[in-house]
Each structure stands twice: as C-alpha cells, then as structure tokens.
Amino acid sequence: MGYAACMAQPPSNPPNPFQALQQNAEGLFDQIQDRNASKMVCRSGCSACCHARFSVFIGEALLIFQWFFGLRESERQALRTRWNGKPPAPSACAFLRESRCTIYPARPIICRTQGAPLRVEGRVDACSLNFDGGKTLPQNPSNHFDLDRLTHLQSIAEKHVLKTRSIPAKIRKICDEFDRVPLEALQALLQNGESASDQKSDDEQTAEIPND
C-alpha cells in the first residue's frame, strides 16, 4: 500500500493537519534548494542533520504509526530486521540506519526543513555543510523557514488532532514531560511487535474495563 493510500482517512475521521504541514514544508524546501542548488549539498546518503535526539508532536507520531501499519506485513518485518541490525551512533536518530532514514516517506516536519536556512527570532542559520559554512546565506526571507511560525502552526495542528482523533494509548504512554513523543521511544514501540489490532485509544481501553 502506498503512503497516500494508507494515510487516507474515512469521512468520520478528519484528515490529520500535520499532513498538510509536512507537504508544505517539503514543497518549500524543494523551492529553496532549486534556487540555491550551487550552495546546498543535501542529497541521499547525507545524514549530517540526523545526529540528534528528536521528539515530535503526538500528531506526527500518529502519522508515523499509521504509515508503519499501512505497510505490508513483509515490509514491516523487513524494517524490523533492519532496525535489529547495526544500531545508529549514540547521537543519531533512532530511525537512522546506514546514513539513511528508514521512515523517509513519513519523516517529521523538522526533518523536511533541515539543510535550508532556518530563521528563529530574527536570526538565520543553516547546516554548516551548506552556503559555504554560513558565509553566503540568502537574505531574502522567501529562502528561509520561519521556525517560530512553523512551531505555532504545529501547536494549532496538535490541538486539532487531540480534539478530533483517537490516539492509541501506547503512543500517549511514551510521551515525555512536554507531551512530545521521543522518536527513540516510538521506534522501540514499533520494533517490539506492536500489532495493528492493538491500536486502541485511551477511551477505547477505558470502555473495556468492566464495572464492579
């Protein structure tokens, strides 16, 4: 099953707004890269921006969870086998293997912005491999990601997801103190045989508790 197909939602379950944010981020990155091709070395196999411990909003964790269980059983097992192989460096993302992202179609928004100029509180920065180590950063704001605005939009999307969608209880249980989902914990959840039939929300699990 393709990514678009497995992300399709029935009419009773509204679309996850993080999908639109991901698509928009990827589109803007492609535009920035096209305009600055000679200054950006981003390519398949470069994982310089993947060496960090990331956490994501619950809405994006849900997309990764759904993408994984939208794969064929053989594809899921192949991924688990790959994850069981040589582990990533201690500083790397839990989904990184052999310098490549193993969840690339469902990668979070933060991963879709890295390499491009990022503007935070008026300051612009980018990967040190691009733009001559930061010496030739583009000045036009159309070539920047405004991370303050993007974070604000993600917060709005998160509120919508939490209000309108059932969140599997096991995703809620791995949230950190900031109600974010560490990718390391999400990878372990998928690795350890979580089954599609176990994707129950807190409400669904509560409903199964018998009354005294």
Helices (H) and strands (E) in the chain, counts: 10, 7
Determine the Cα–Cα distance for residues 64 and 60; give it in Å rounded to an integer.
6
pLDDT tens figures, 126-139: 999 999 999 999 99
Show Cβ contacts of residue 35 under 8 Å, excluding neighbours closer than 6 positions: 138, 143
pLDDT tens figures, 90-107: 889 999 999 999 999 999
Paired with 72 in beta bridges are none
Query: CA of 204: how far to CAs of 147, 165, 168, in Å?
Result: 36, 12, 9
**Domain range annotation of the chain:** 46-192
What pLDDT is attached to residue 195? 54
Q: Report the 10 Å Cβ neighbour count for 113.
A: 20
pTM here is 0.83
Handedness of CA 74, 76, 79, 81 (dihedral sign): negative
Dig out the tokens for 77 from the structure.
């097992």
- Of the candidates 182, 114, 187, the one whose C-alpha atom is nearest the C-alpha of residue 150 is 114
- H-helix or E-strand containing 35? helix 17-35
pLDDT band at 85 (very low <50, low <70, confident <90, very high): confident
Determine the Cα–Cα distance for residues 111 and 185; give it in Å rounded to an integer.
17
Determine the Cα–Cα distance for residues 129 and 41; give it in Å rounded to an integer.
7
Residue 48, burial from CB neighbour count under 10 angstroms (0-12, 13-18, 19+): middle
Residue 76 has pLDDT above 90, yes or no: yes
DSSP state, residue 201: B
What pLDDT is attached to residue 122? 87
The chain-wide mean pLDDT, for the chain, equals 86
